[in-house]
Structure 1
Amino acid sequence: MPDQHLLALQLEHLKQLQSRYEHALESHGYNTLLMASGFAPYQYGDDQAWHFQGYGPFLHWTGLTGREHCWLLIRVGQKPVLWLYEPIDFWHAGRPLPEEPWLQAVEVRSRRTPDAPELTTCNGLAVIGDPVLLDGLPGDINPPALLKALDETRVHKTDYEIGCLAHANTLALEGHRAAQTAFLNGESEFAISLAYQQATRQREADAPYHSIIGLNEHAGTLHYQYYDIQPPGLPRSLLIDAGVRYRGYCSDITRTTAGSGEAHFAALVQGLERLQLRLCAMVAPGVDYIDIHRKAHQGLAVLLSASGLVKGLDDEAIVEQGITRAFFPHGIGHFLGVQVHDVAGRPVPPPEDAPFLRLTRMLEPGMVVTIEPGLYFIPSLLRPLLSGPLGHHLNRELLDELQGCGGIRIEDNVVVSDSGHTNLTRKAEP
């Protein structure tokens, strides 16, 4: 049961959402919005459905993951109405809503059928959600300008949302500690995954994303998706990128651990963590997020030079020649909320030197971002460097030694405050 303070914050959260949505609706000529929670379609040629987690705007209002075929009605100046799909079903178990104060702020109704509720009036109506569910409904279906405005309502988190994100960090860190212990005890990727799930008390399917758990060279695949069931003969490194979903809100944390006897790799992990903390310290109102990304490359150049991985070039040239991009090919982070890569992060395209950057905005109070620099030894990215005119600047012997460690990523979840920032991840550490 959440603490009473968080439940009280949820009531204020709903008031703020009502105000934000009313402004968005009226600005675009609407007075009523019907949204679908979504559904899990069946896999082609099978009677098994995909796992379901819910449509972002619906989760923003309710936090109810796993609730298919529900509908939420938002009207200007009126109480929201939530229709819960509650069929009579002996195949599957129902899940009653817990008695919480927010239910008094919403009119809750029960429906036996999954179809949309019939509305008494359809004037000024917009309907949003999975188009498969909306076919044939009255009103404007997924109007692009309104959808963009609704995405903006999620950019600045309420105090309730930040409380949920903070707790999701606390829960995830319990899993990360268990995963590190399992690694140091010589367990396999699969066993490490089980240790993480046991510690977080969360099924893999209910996590905000498929946990990335890579040992040794697997840590060099950015979204490594498999779990070996046998431990490696020599455990050299662990990279785990894993989070927890709490009341709809996601944490997204990455940690890297060096194995016993990996002195060079351990030094790089420590160096990247120092850089990561400096980057987190940059988070503040008025800071261009792209500048944090570029500062990451400048810091990585210093680390590559200091470690002896790159020699004969100054730090500026290491960045300008594209060497840091071969070691750190992704963006420095993204928005975080009810989606791991939360919406509205790229009002303008990313710059040419950062094509995968998911956030291109000036930071403002209430935004929640991830800061996740990396340093990887990815053969397909390093091979062109080694065979090209810059190859003699790379320490091939050291690269060969580190290749089997895969790579490093360190990621925290950070709130932009009025005067600076709060690192939710580090704050939750014991």
Structure 2
Amino acid sequence: MTPDLDALQVHHFDALENRYAEVLTAQGYDRLLIYSGRPTRHFGDDQDASFCSYGHFQHWTGQSQLTHSWLLVQPGRRPVCYLHAPDDFWHLPAQLPDEAWTARLEVVVGRYDEAPPIATGGRLAVIGDVSAATSAALGAELNPATLLTALDEGRVRKSDYEIACLSEANRRSVLGHSAARNAFLAGGSELDIHLSYLQASRQREGELPYDNIVGIGCHAAVLHYQHYDTQAPRKRYSLLVDAGHRYRGYCADITRTWPGAEADPLFADLIAGMHEIKQRLVSEVAPGVAFVELHERMHRLLGELLAKSELVRGSSDTAIESGITRAFCPHGLGHLLGIQVHDVAGRTAHDGSPLPPPADHPALRLTRELEAGMAVTIEPGLYVIPMLLEPLKSGPTARHLNWPMIERLAPHGGIRIEDNVIVTADAGRNLTVDIE
């Protein structure tokens, strides 16, 4: 059944007004001005870098491309959106979408290269990429840390509207992944695969929530591989695609890995094993689960797979205690997901106190206990990364590794399987359907 997004959005807007009123009142602020942000111009050039509006601005509006716009929030009063849309024959002026939230605002259209001329009086905070000079001219406090911490916490648990948006972002992203797989099997290059993804998911490159990762063969071992070869490789061992979609401001973040025509049969078996690990971890998502413990559970399951496949000689315990699993998977199990792909407050407690990652797992982006309403990624990985594995050859760990088998797998790069999961009242609900 298709959700009524307008009705859900109205409830979301109600909750935002209430939340902000509580936070502002508790911290003694009368008003808050949120800046969407401005594009950054390349040095010595007249072209701008890709732009994405500030997360807290998007939390209200869902608009990721609105530049130079402002939102004034005052408890008990209608929010005011200062929409930057000057008369212009070079560019199409900005417009607000036909969505339910726009009826809840007072919209003032104009040119806002600088802050809008708002009335003085009361204690004002301004948040976003705002200069100290601008905040001083407004008589405002700039990006107060305690206020930002409280507003970040308000984005941790998603409303029904936000979950519906995340679900739709997943649906559209899956269409792109399916097209990417087909382009790979048809003999396409990394660029061909990337373009197929964009076309099927109906996105411009500048609207992506993050740069697509499209790695064929050994490129799949570069965790944030940032290039697209224009020529197809002579041998097609594997494809890893980490790509998403942004819908009304909310991001999907999905990864899949497929074997190619020249893939070693072991690699296909490892992909199947990683899918099973991902499924088992998703099944363990629930309120009250410590994500650090779930991350450590991933390493135990990975150790079992390495031992079963004979990449490691010995037990799962051997693979974990010797640091082998960390060499095969140096990243965290997942992160919070929402308006930002790596959403805010993943390493802070309710009260804003820091929750740093364990020393053995410094890349882990989510260290909190799971709560109902959180959206998280679950993304176990297994990679042949020479700079991490080579040092193991000269130590006591060397005897535990099957080096000839590792060499066979090296041209395949690696495997990452990533789904997006909502923490419900008693379990996890997977938003990412299987990709054919």
Query: TM-score, normalization: structure 2?
Result: 0.96
The count of residues paired between Structure 1 and Structure 2 equals: 426
Q: What is the CA–CA distance in structure 1 between the aligned matches of 2:172 and 2:235, rounded to whole Å?
A: 30
* 8 Å CA contact retained: 2:236, 2:262: no
Deviations 1:90-120 (A, max 9, x none): 1111242233222111111111232211222
In the TM superposition, what is the alpha-carbon distance from 1:22 to its structure 2 partner?
Answer: 1.1
Match of 2:351 in 1: none
* 8 Å CA contact retained: 1:170, 1:429: no
Match of 2:80 in 1: 81
Match of 1:385 in 2: 392
Q: What is the CA–CA distance in structure 1 between the aligned matches of 2:168 and 2:294, rounded to whole Å?
A: 26
Match of 2:414 in 1: 407
Q: What is the CA–CA distance in structure 2 between the aligned matches of 1:194 and 1:387, rounded to whole Å?
A: 43
In the TM superposition, what is the alpha-carbon distance from 1:143 to its structure 2 partner?
Answer: 0.6
Q: What is the CA–CA distance in structure 1 between the aligned matches of 2:107 and 2:415, rounded to whole Å?
A: 47
In the TM superposition, what is the alpha-carbon distance from 1:358 to its structure 2 partner?
Answer: 0.3
* 8 Å CA contact retained: 2:84, 2:94: no
Match of 1:126 in 2: 125
Please state whether the residue corresponding to 1:390 is helix, strand or coil: helix
Match of 2:27 in 1: 28
Q: What is the CA–CA distance in structure 2 between the aligned matches of 1:236 and 1:257, rounded to whole Å?
A: 9
Match of 1:370 in 2: 377
* 8 Å CA contact retained: 2:249, 2:339: yes
Please state whether the residue corresponding to 1:275 is helix, strand or coil: helix
Please state whether the residue corresponding to 1:243 is helix, strand or coil: strand
In the TM superposition, what is the alpha-carbon distance from 1:65 to its structure 2 partner?
Answer: 1.4
* 8 Å CA contact retained: 2:85, 2:109: yes
* 8 Å CA contact retained: 1:276, 1:373: yes
Q: What is the CA–CA distance in structure 1 between the aligned matches of 2:232 and 2:315, rounded to whole Å?
A: 40
Which amino acid in structure 2 is aligned with residue 238 of structure 1? L
Match of 1:45 in 2: 44
Match of 1:92 in 2: 91
Please state whether the residue corresponding to 2:409 is helix, strand or coil: helix
* 8 Å CA contact retained: 2:126, 2:135: no
Please state whether the residue corresponding to 2:117 is helix, strand or coil: coil
Q: Runs ≥4 in structure 1, deviation > 6 angstroms?
A: none
Deviations 1:395-418 (A, max 9, x none): 111111100000000000000001
- Comparing 285-294 and 134-143, the one that deviates more: 134-143
Q: What is the CA–CA distance in structure 2 between the aligned matches of 1:47 and 1:114, rounded to whole Å?
A: 17
- The reply to whether residue 292 of structure 1 matches residue 294 of structure 2 is yes
Please state whether the residue corresponding to 1:251 is helix, strand or coil: strand
Alpha carbons of structure 1 residues 208 and 405: separation in structure 2 relative to 1, 3 Å: same
Q: What is the CA–CA distance in structure 2 between the aligned matches of 1:4 and 1:387, rounded to whole Å?
A: 58
* 8 Å CA contact retained: 2:69, 2:112: no
Q: What is the CA–CA distance in structure 2 between the aligned matches of 1:206 and 1:140, rounded to whole Å?
A: 32
Q: What is the CA–CA distance in structure 1 between the aligned matches of 2:325 and 2:421, rounded to whole Å?
A: 24
Which amino acid in structure 1 is aligned with residue 125 of structure 2? A
Q: What is the CA–CA distance in structure 1 between the aligned matches of 2:276 and 2:67, rounded to whole Å?
A: 44
Alpha carbons of structure 1 residues 4 and 314: separation in structure 2 relative to 1, 3 Å: closer
Q: What is the CA–CA distance in structure 1 between the aligned matches of 2:55 and 2:96, rounded to whole Å?
A: 19
Q: What is the CA–CA distance in structure 2 between the aligned matches of 1:106 and 1:301, rounded to whole Å?
A: 54
Match of 1:215 in 2: 216
In the TM superposition, what is the alpha-carbon distance from 1:77 to its structure 2 partner?
Answer: 1.0
Match of 1:329 in 2: 330
Match of 2:344 in 1: 343
In the TM superposition, what is the alpha-carbon distance from 1:78 to its structure 2 partner?
Answer: 1.1
Which amino acid in structure 1 is aligned with residue 110 of structure 2? R
Q: What is the CA–CA distance in structure 2 between the aligned matches of 1:425 and 1:53, rounded to whole Å?
A: 24
Match of 1:274 in 2: 276
Match of 1:162 in 2: 163
Q: What is the CA–CA distance in structure 1 between the aligned matches of 2:324 and 2:3, rounded to whole Å?
A: 51
Which amino acid in structure 1 is aligned with residue 33 of structure 2? L
Deviations 1:341-360 (A, max 9, x none): 00000011001111000001
Match of 2:352 in 1: none
Please state whether the residue corresponding to 1:13 is helix, strand or coil: helix
Which amino acid in structure 1 is aligned with residue 77 of structure 2? Q
Q: What is the CA–CA distance in structure 1 between the aligned matches of 2:185 and 2:69, rounded to whole Å?
A: 45
Which amino acid in structure 2 is aligned with residue 293 of structure 1? H
Please state whether the residue corresponding to 2:4 is helix, strand or coil: helix
Alpha carbons of structure 1 residues 300 and 244: separation in structure 2 relative to 1, 3 Å: same
* 8 Å CA contact retained: 1:334, 1:359: yes
* 8 Å CA contact retained: 2:35, 2:130: no
Q: What is the CA–CA distance in structure 2 between the aligned matches of 1:122 and 1:359, rounded to whole Å?
A: 40
Q: What is the CA–CA distance in structure 1 between the aligned matches of 2:435 and 2:19, rounded to whole Å?
A: 34
Q: What is the CA–CA distance in structure 2 between the aligned matches of 1:287 and 1:15, rounded to whole Å?
A: 30
Identity fraction in percent: 51
For residues 285-324 of structure 1, what are the structure 2 equivalents within 5 Å? 285-311=287-313, 313-324=314-325
Deviations 1:182-220 (A, max 9, x none): 111111000000000000110111100000000000000
Deviations 1:195-252 (A, max 9, x none): 0000011011110000000000000000000000000001110000000000111000
* 8 Å CA contact retained: 1:123, 1:139: no
- Comparing 341-350 and 258-267, the one that deviates more: 258-267
Please state whether the residue corresponding to 1:385 is helix, strand or coil: helix
In the TM superposition, what is the alpha-carbon distance from 1:135 to its structure 2 partner?
Answer: 4.3
Deviations 1:54-87 (A, max 9, x none): 0000000001111101000111111111110011
* 8 Å CA contact retained: 1:124, 1:139: yes
* 8 Å CA contact retained: 2:347, 2:365: yes
Q: What is the CA–CA distance in structure 1 between the aligned matches of 2:69 and 2:430, rounded to whole Å?
A: 35
In the TM superposition, what is the alpha-carbon distance from 1:260 to its structure 2 partner?
Answer: 2.1
Which amino acid in structure 2 is aligned with residue 16 of structure 1? A
Match of 1:192 in 2: 193
Alpha carbons of structure 1 residues 73 and 402: separation in structure 2 relative to 1, 3 Å: same
RMSD, aligned α-carbons: 1.3
Match of 1:11 in 2: 10
Q: What is the CA–CA distance in structure 1 between the aligned matches of 2:260 and 2:121, rounded to whole Å?
A: 63
Task: Give the gaps of 5 or more residues in structure 2.
Answer: 349-354
- The reply to whether residue 398 of structure 1 matches residue 415 of structure 2 is no
Deviations 1:360-391 (A, max 9, x none): 10111100000000000000000011221111
Q: What is the CA–CA distance in structure 1 between the aligned matches of 2:148 and 2:121, rounded to whole Å?
A: 19
Task: Give the gaps of 5 or more residues in structure 1.
Answer: none
* 8 Å CA contact retained: 1:334, 1:370: yes
* 8 Å CA contact retained: 2:184, 2:239: yes
* 8 Å CA contact retained: 2:85, 2:95: no
Query: TM-score, normalization: structure 1?
Result: 0.97
Match of 1:117 in 2: 116
Deviations 1:158-179 (A, max 9, x none): 0000000000000000000000
Q: What is the CA–CA distance in structure 2 between the aligned matches of 1:165 and 1:100, rounded to whole Å?
A: 17
Please state whether the residue corresponding to 1:77 is helix, strand or coil: coil
In the TM superposition, what is the alpha-carbon distance from 1:429 to its structure 2 partner?
Answer: 5.8
Match of 1:139 in 2: 140
